[in-house]
Amino acid sequence: MTLFPLRSVMVLETMANVGLLYFLFLVGVEMDIVHVIKSSGRKAMIIAITGMILPFLIGVSFSFLLHQTAQYVKLGTFIIFLGVALSVTAFPVLARILAELKLVNTEIGRIAMASALLNDMCAWILLAVALAIAESTGH
C-alpha cells in the first residue's frame, strides 16, 4: 500500500526535480560566482577536501565490516560507493538553509556553498568511477 498511486509517482518526482532546479537557479542568480571563487577559493577548497576525506575514510572503515552483508558486490566497488554515500553534501538542503537565513551572500555562506559545490563535484566523479568499476566487473 502506498501513499500515492504508482502512476502519479513519476509525475510527482518530475515536478519535485523541476522545483529543485528552479530553486537552485534562483540561489545561483543571487550569488556572484567570480566573487565567491576569488574571495573564498582556498578556504572552500580546504574545507571541501577535509569534509570529503574524513567521512570517506569513516565509510571505508565501515565498508569492511558491512561488506559481509553484501558479498555479491566487489569490495572495491562497495568501498567507493559507501565512502561517497557518507561524504556527499546535501547541496540543495544547504542552499535552502542559507537562503532562509539570508546567509547566501555573506562570507560564511559563500564558503559553505563553494565547499559544498566542490564536495558534490568530487562525489559525482567518484560515484561515476564506482559505477564504471561495478559495470566492468559485472557487479
| pLDDT digits (tens), the chain, 139 positions | 577 787 888 888 888 888 878 877 877 776 666 776 677 778 888 998 898 899 889 988 888 888 877 777 778 888 888 888 888 888 888 888 998 999 988 889 888 888 888 888 888 888 888 788 777 776 5
Q: Give the pLDDT score at 33.
A: 66
Rounded to an integer, what is the distance from CA 33 to the centroid of its chain? 19
Does 89 fall in a domain? yes
On whether residue 43 sits in a domain, the answer given is yes
Per the CB < 8 A criterion, the answer to whether 74 and 139 are in contact is yes
Supply the pTM of this predicted model: 0.69
- Count the domains in the chain: 1
Domain that holds residue 113: 33-137
Q: According to the model, what pLDDT value does residue 139 have?
A: 57
Is the residue at 12 inside a domain? no
85, part of any domain: yes
In this structure, is residue 20 part of a structural domain?
no
Q: What is the pLDDT of residue 128?
A: 85
Judge whether 100 lies within some domain.
Answer: yes
Which candidate, 111, 126, 138, 136, places its Cα nearest to that of 55? Answer: 126
> For residue 89, what pLDDT is reported?
80
Q: What is the pLDDT, as a whole number, of residue 24?
A: 73
Task: Quote the DSSP letter at residue 1.
Answer: -
* 27 within some domain: no
